[in-house]
Each structure stands twice: as structure tokens, then as C-alpha cells.
Structure 1
Amino acid sequence: MLTLTGVGVRYGDRQILHRVDVRVAPGELLAVLGANGSGKSTLLRAAAGLAPLADGTVTVNGRPRHPLDIAMVFQKIHLVGRRSALENVCAGALGRLPLSRSLVPALFPRALREEAMACLDRVGLADRAHDRAESLSGGQQQRVAIARALCQRAPVVLADEPVSALDPSAAEQVLGLLAELAHGEGLAVLAVLHQPELARRHADRIVGLRDGRVVLDGLPTEPVHHLYTNGVLEPVT
């Protein structure tokens, strides 16, 4: 589904990624681990088209990546707090709407509202559809953000440290939801994480980065202590 081949990213004279190869299959949750500065977020930005490639290619289903192929879930959730959960989810479809129908939530088509409600139901929040986003807990807001990504109808979901601001219980729920959606909807989900233990419990596969290079690509049971030998994070074996 999502394939990065020989991807290199350079900022000035500094090489951040060194010809990285990563593939995420349909129905798979791939967790990217590594210490701070290892290139995790740059990898995700390169996959999304937010970082210019010095080398390599990014494809979705064997074709050059298109913006509508990829949905993003961010660490900072970026909901419009004064808008309802339903209206925030509808925003995931703005790329498919004519400009005149996308500027005012009251003009969202009925079919889109029904689709957004189905997405909220999929993440377990249909009963909060008409509540303001700012009234929801952090974990609930992140689930709304995931529903918004679903409403985009993208085959690939990129999640940039989606649980780092959540308490342990909410983090488990959100990672479990991403895994469930990958398996149930056939999505290719790539999640950058700081928590190896969450990756072990929820990911289908782990890619480990060190100094901008892939040094691990395997099952969640693989040891990952060598990714953190600089002491930036507590080693986990």
C-alpha cells in the first residue's frame, strides 16, 4: 500500500534520512521507534509529502503519492474546539467538496453528515456527535481526529506520536483503535511512537531508526534496546 524506496531527506548540509526503505501493507499497523533525533518524524513527513526528498520515491498502491491518498493524525489534535465532533469529522472530506459547500458547516451535504456519523460510530463516539470538541477528553478528541481521517477515505493513515499527550488508559484505547481500523478497514497505518511497550502490544510490525537509517524491521517481539543506547529514552528489551 505505502512504499518508501531509497528515501533520503537533507536539510542544508545535514543528512536526516539515508536511503530508507519502508513498506506498510494493507491491514497493517507499522510502528516506527527510535530515540529523539533518529529521524522518525522526518520519515513520517517524507511519507506525507511534507518534507522534500533528496533521494528516492514514495508510492501508494504502486502510483506516485497523491495528497488524498494519505490522512494524518497528529500529536496536537487540531480540532476546532467550538465546533461539534460531527462538524470536525466532516472536515475530513473537504478535499472532495466544492469550495462553496466547504466554507460553512451548515452547507455540508446530508450524505456527508451521515458518513461522518458512521465514522464517529466506528470510533465509539456517535453519542457525542453534537458536543463541542472542546468539551471532550483528550482521548475522545484523538478518536474524533481518527474519525476525521476515516472520513477522508484515504487508504493510508499516518499518525505522528498520536498518544504522547494522553494518559496510559487513553493511549491504550487509541492505539488499539488504530490497530482495529487497520485490520478491519484494510488501511495501511504508520505510527511514530515513543512508547516501545505500546508498539509491542498493538503493532503488527516494528521499524527501528537510528541516525536516519533503518536498523530494525521485524515483529514486535524483536529486542529494541539498541535503538536507545544514547540514553534519550529508557532502554526496553
Structure 2
Amino acid sequence: MTTRDAALRLRGLTKAYAGRTVLDGLDLDVRSGELLALLGPNGCGKSTTLRCVAGLEVPDAGSVEVAAEQHVSGRPVAMVFQRVHLVPRRSVLDNVCAGGLGRLGWRGLAPALFPTALREEAMGCLDRVGLADRAHDRAGRLSGGQQQRVAVARALCQRAPVLLADEPVSALDPRAAEQVMSLLRDLARSEGLAVVAVLHQPALAARHADRTVGLRDGRLLLDQPAGTVSAANLDLLYAGATPLEVAA
């Protein structure tokens, strides 16, 4: 991969907390149109990587480039969390519209004042995740899997070239987890997004990701096409981890 191919480029990313190194000079490139699964035992630096990319944490050293531009704050990335953080009493459509407010330069705008163009765009995002028919339902009435799909639609409304998903399926049942991962894969390909998903399920990564990256002790231990990751690779990655740190 050349630098021009990478929608997301990390170089020398380093982060420590209270003297403990969590990221140790991480280098990583992610292409547009690629779904990358980030695996590794608890505490290896997966979520910290995403938070540094999103600007939620400030790395101690290194650089983050999105769409070939180096950013210090306000990076053009969207993030989906394990907990979806929807406003349960608001409509599904209002929740998705909220994703577009930042790029429009608005904060705290009452839903009744959302521009028509933003509502139309949000409806298009809901259609992409298969929930246009639930646009006027309260978000709190949806299932966990549906709420996570709304969170993905909200991220799409940000129009960011990079989509980060931090354990997006860990709270979902197996069927909903498959649906969300399939959605992320399809969006990477159809929308040309660079998608990075932190997972604890190697089997999901093998079925849905284009590429698997494994971190251990803040360093890159594994980087190869998802379908080629062997049981021996995973044994090495998770050596010494507890059973709860790696699901079947």
C-alpha cells in the first residue's frame, strides 16, 4: 500500500497512562473501501488507538493523518461506540440528524429547526442501514441491534472518510452481531469508507473483515488478510489471555 492509498495513516503512535505504555510506536495504514478488524487481548491498546484517531485522547508521540491531511483536532472521522448513546425519547430520524450538525457548524439546535436538507440526508442514511421505516419511532423502542444500526446511520451523516467502531457488537446477540458487521463491510465497499472495528470475536473478523490486525502490548503483532489468520496466529496473539478476553 502506498501513502496515497491510505485514508488513515498512523505513524509512531505512542500513548502511556501513569507510566504504563499502552501504544508503543504503532504504524498502521487503512485503505478507503477496507474493513479492518482490530483484535487483541484486553489492555493491548485497541480502543486507545481508536480514541487517539478520533481526537478523544492526545497521543504522547506520533502522527495521525486522515485523507492525506495531518490533524491535531477536529479530525474528519466518525465513531460508533459499544454503547450507542442515542437519545431514547427522540425519534430515530432526530438522532441521525444530530450526526450532521457538527459539520454544519451548529450545536444544540432544536430538532424542530433541523433543515429540510439535513432531514432528507438523514433519511437516506437510515435507508442505507435498512431502517427508513422506523424513522419516526422513538429510538428507545428499537432493539439493541437496530439501535446500533441507527448509530451507524448517524455516523454516516457526518460524511467522514473514516469510520471507527469500538466493540460495536459486544452487547448484541449473535444474529444482530452478524447483521451489524455485514452492514459495516457493505458500507466500506459501497461508500468507499475506511472502517476500523475493534472486535473480541476472531470468527466475526474472519467472516466480515478484509484484513485483520492484532495488537499485543501496544505493538503490531499480526497484519494479514482476514481469511488467512490461523489458529496458531490467534494462539500467539492471545497467549496468556483469560477466556473472557477472546470469544469463540
- Within 1, Cα distance between the matches of 2:203 and 2:142? 26
- Within 2, Cα distance between the matches of 1:68 and 1:177? 23
Instruction: Give the structure-1-normalised TM-score.
Output: 0.95
Deviations 1:87-121 (A, max 9, x none): 00000011133547x42000000000000000000
Gaps of 5+ in 2: 1-6
1:76 Cα deviation from its structure 2 partner:
0.5
- Return closer, same or farther for 1:109/1:6 CA change in 2, 3 Å cut-off: same
Instruction: Give the structure-2-normalised TM-score.
Output: 0.91
Match of 1:229 among 239, 242, 248: 239
- Within 2, Cα distance between the matches of 1:16 and 1:232? 19
2:210 touches 2:225 (CA, 8 Å); kept in 1? yes
2:200 touches 2:247 (CA, 8 Å); kept in 1? no
Residue identity in the other structure for 1:11: Y
What residue in structure 1 maps to residue 3 of structure 2?
none
Match of 1:108 among 114, 123, 126: 114
- Within 2, Cα distance between the matches of 1:85 and 1:4? 34
- Greater shift in the superposed pair: 40-49 or 81-90: 40-49
Residue identity in the other structure for 1:227: L
State the secondary structure of the residue aligned to 1:44. helix
Q: How does 1:1-237 map to 2 (within 5 A)?
A: 1-65=7-71, 67-99=74-106, 102-220=108-226, 221-223=228-230, 224-233=234-243
1:62 Cα deviation from its structure 2 partner:
1.6
- Within 2, Cα distance between the matches of 1:10 and 1:98? 33
1:53 Cα deviation from its structure 2 partner:
1.2
- Return closer, same or farther for 1:227/1:149 CA change in 2, 3 Å cut-off: same
- Within 1, Cα distance between the matches of 2:152 and 2:74? 17
2:13 touches 2:26 (CA, 8 Å); kept in 1? yes
- Within 2, Cα distance between the matches of 1:99 and 1:123? 25
State the secondary structure of the residue aligned to 1:77. coil
State the secondary structure of the residue aligned to 1:67. coil
Gaps of 5+ in 1: none
1:68 Cα deviation from its structure 2 partner:
4.9
Matched residues, number? 236
